[in-house]
Amino acid sequence: MTTFDDRERGYESKFAHDANLRFKADARRNRLLGEWAAGLLGKEGDDARAYALTIVTSDFEEPGYEDVFRKLAADLEGKAGESEIRTKMAELMEVARRQILDETQ
C-alpha cells in the first residue's frame, strides 16, 4: 500500500464523515424549523412534534432547501414572510451545526 492510497482513503473517509454530519445538521435544522413554525401556528405537544416531522420529510422531495422553504411559506402564509423564514432557516442551520458538532465530540 502506498502513501497515495492511504491519503486517498483518508480523504474518502473524511468526505463520507462530512456528508454524514451535513445530513444530520440538515435534518436537525428542519426539525428546529418545524418546532418554530408549529409555535407560530399555535400547535403544542404531539401536534407540534408531528408537524415538525412533516418539515423534516419535506426536505426529501428534491435536492436543496427550496422544498422546505416552500412548505413553510405555504403553511405560514400571513404569519411569517419570505425574509423571516429564510433568516430563521440560516439561523437554525448554525444552531443545528453546533449541536451536531457538540454531540460528536
Q: What is the pTM of this model?
A: 0.85
26-52 per-position pLDDT tens digit: 999 999 999 999 999 999 999 999 999
User: Contact at 8 Å (CB) between 97 and 24?
Assistant: no
C-alpha cell recorded at residue 101: 458538532
Please, what is the Cα angle at 28 between 57 and 72, to 5 degrees?
A: 50
| Predicted confidence band of residue 18 (pLDDT cuts 50, 70, 90) | confident
User: Contact at 8 Å (CB) between 88 and 50?
Assistant: no
Q: Which of 3, 65, 2 is nearest to 33 (CA)?
A: 65
User: Contact at 8 Å (CB) between 31 and 51?
Assistant: no
Give the chain's domains with CATH numbers. Answer: 25-104 (1.10.790.20)
